[in-house]
Amino acid sequence: MSESFLEQTQSRSEEEHRLILEQTSLVETLEAMIVPAALFNNSTRCVYANRLFAEYRELEDQEEAVGKTPGALFLCPYAGEDGEGCGENEKCAVCDLRSILIEASAGGGPVQRTSAVSQQTGYIPSSSDLRITAGLIHVESSVFILAQIEDMEDRMRRNLLNRVFYHDIINTATWIRTTAQLLKIQADEHNRKDFESIETGVDVLCEEVESQRQLMKAESKEFSVSVEKTSQEEILQAVQKMYAPIAEINGCTLLLEPERSDRTFSSDFVLVRRIIGNLTKNAIEAAAEGAEIRLGAGETEARVTFQIKSPTPIPSDIQNSLFQKRISSKGETRGLGTYSVKLFTEDYLGGEVGFTTSPEEGTVFTVRFPFEFEEGIPDHPGK
């Protein structure tokens, strides 16, 4: 590539950089962004990089980015010493940062992809998984490509560690449960109850772990619903079986209302059981010694209803924020239970959840689900 051509492209990039600097509102907007962002011309040369981008790429200042190709900005080992070979090496088929910019320049709308972008730290070639969003912006008579960069390494590493953690803890809990079952077979009547308590504790632990794993998937839009026919009685029996021993340990009683419906409906059995179980567990934890927690079931014209009744009122200072994330009567970071109940009930199963509470009547949570689960409920990929 001739020196005169490089000089021309650099001169053009610097001229366009000055044009950007004249646009006060645009510059303020770019600097206010919470992600690294840069503007490129139709030759995929950088004409402006915001402060976060300069810090992310460890540039001396923002002007250092002007005129550079994506390969030069990321110190790609395959782009040549001056970065001018960006997009020409066969390795560029894997790292498609430049092709994303070119695709965006065609004007077909914003482009977003996650790409393994090659770069070099010291003498060691490496790659980073970046989510790149690019689209066009118009400045006077010129058109530029705005690219936002989100480094996915931390998120992907965290997700991997989470998966390993959940896998390991479930395996450990399963081993404890199996051991308790084997010991229970050989134990006398008195000790057998102790091993049954261990089994129950492990079951609740596994339920908690699975709930957190599902919540993580739901928040990252990776969760999918598994629909089957179930019944209200099947749900209530499963919840009582799991949480009645916990209620006993806490000095209260978990009962089923004698007058209750048993309607068959289509939904995700495990998810519905977990929702009702979560609210039941909360009621048990908040109940005073000697209290009775009651589970009921009914139906309306198009929905089944479940009720969790507790004599304990909810404090007035947390009632309005009960379903918000990280809001809990049990501590600042323990509000994921009711948050996940609302998330799964309303966003994934098309249901509703609400409550009434007073010192005189206690607290009643009511959860409603449609008789038939509907695919493609708007605004959520998990539905």
| pLDDT(93) > 80 | no
Are 365 and 308 within 8 A, CB to CB? yes
Confidence band (pLDDT; 50, 70, 90) for 76? confident
pLDDT tens per residue, range 202-243: 777 777 777 677 777 776 677 788 899 999 999 999 999 989
Q: What is the pLDDT of residue 3?
A: 58
For residue 333, the model assigns a pLDDT of: 39
What does the buried/exposed string (b/e) look like for 357-377 if buried means 16 or more CB atoms within 10 Å of the residue's CB? beeeebbbbbbbbbeebeeeb
293 pLDDT band, cuts 50/70/90, is very high
Strand partners, 144: 137
The fraction of the chain above a pLDDT of 90, given in percent, is 45
What pLDDT is recorded for position 328?
A: 46
Residue from 340, 349, 351 nearest 375 by CA: 349
**Residue type, position 170, single letter:** I
pLDDT of residue 88 exceeding 80: no
- Could you tell me the pLDDT band of residue 130, with boundaries at 50, 70 and 90? confident
**Which pLDDT tens digit goes with each residue over 1-54?**
555 777 888 999 999 999 999 999 999 999 999 999 999 999 899 999 999 999
Dihedral of alpha carbons 338, 339, 345, 346, sign: positive
Q: Across all residues in the chain, what is the average pLDDT?
A: 83
Domain ranges of the chain: 3-151, 153-216, 224-383
Amino acid at 273: R
Higher pLDDT, 191 or 155: 191
Q: Is the pLDDT of residue 177 over 70?
A: yes
Answer for the pair 107, 64: CB distance below 8 angstroms, yes or no.
no
The class that CATH gives domain 3-151 is: alpha beta
CB atoms within 10 A of CB 203: 17
Which band of pLDDT confidence, cut at 50, 70 and 90, is reported for residue 375?
Answer: low
Structure-model confidence comparison of residues 68 and 184, the more confident one: 68
Q: Are 84 and 179 in contact (CB under 8 A)?
A: no
pLDDT value, residue 249: 86
* pLDDT at 381 exceeding the cut of 50: no
Q: Considering only the top CATH level, what class is 224-383?
A: alpha beta
| pLDDT at residue 16, rounded to an integer | 95
For residue 204, what are the CA distances in angstroms to 289, 310, 354?
Answer: 21, 20, 24
Do 228 and 208 touch, CB atoms closer than 8 A?
A: no
How many degrees, rounded to 5, is the angle at CA 132 between CA 130 and CA 138?
155
Residue 325: predicted pLDDT: 63
**Distance (Å, rounded) from C-alpha 275 to C-alpha 342?**
9
